[in-house]
Structure 1
Amino acid sequence: MSVDNRAKKPKLPPRWFIHLAWRVHRGLYRVLGGRVVWRPRATRWGTLRLTTTGRRTGQERSVIVAYLEDGPNLFTLAMNGWGEGEPAWWLNLRAHPEATVDLVDGRRLVRGRAATGDERRRLWARWREIDTQLDAFAALRSSETAVVVLEPRPESDTSPAA
């Protein structure tokens, strides 16, 4: 009798572990100056440092997120460690769409937005190619996980996060 791993409900690590992992990742990024990050190769994902403007404080807030490339755009998932609620960075980006991303090849100015319709389905399917349990993890949340597109913006476009 075979067991289909995709049919199993995935288990998440405890929230304290997820928070610890985020802190360690941010610390390593800071100590190593962003030199140790993954870049997408074919269908592989990478990590970037996203700096947004706080929706309540107006202060810069940074987070490390996984991403894929889609032409000139980058995209990520607003998953909050697959826990309930929206991640703070996504709430900040919705309030103040202008942001910056730091990649191995330097800093880019971006504008964030949620993918919708066919674009969302296409990008979700691309992410599913590298994470076969994506749908199972997304089912743990009571709301749909946003697919966030980070589009390039001109150098002359200034904002507090730039």
Structure 2
Amino acid sequence: MSLGTVFNNKPKVFKKILSGLEKENYQVIVSAGGAYNKLIKYNFNNNILIFKRVPQLEILKKVDIVISHGGNNTINETLAAGKPIIVIAIGGEQGDNASKIQYLNVGKRINISNFSSNEVLEKVKSIFADSIYKQNAERIRKIISKTDGVSTSVKLISSVAENRKI
């Protein structure tokens, strides 16, 4: 679980999310960032592991579901890993990303202005209960794995530079 690097200093949001998840025996890894010092003061169950930072790409290989603010980097990395995602959009592009995640049926969206701990838990349970989310995330992972973003970007930039005589 992560709220990114810009929006991560929100201990109340983290606490609300984690309060629902600790009711079950899910192993939860939290990248708390700026909220770390406040979060470690709460007495969460042992299934909630709180870190200031985690190696996200490595963690994504091992998790079943991601809960995130829905920033572009996390969305891209999560889908490239073939994982379903629950998005709690906080600002910026995140609301649009959350809508796309729901539209593609690779995850769920939660409204930050009025969500509850139980809603988070129910969304997690629903993703585990319906394999379509994992199947769709895996399908997108396969598509992403066939693209070569760096090479495509270099060709595009070179083409624009040539045509505009930059």
Normalization by structure 2: what TM-score?
0.27
Structure with greater proportional helix content: 2
Structure with greater proportional strand content: 1
Answer with 1 or 2: which has the greater Rg: 2
Structure with greater contact order relative to length (CA < 8 Å, sep ≥ 6):
1
Normalization by structure 1: what TM-score?
0.28
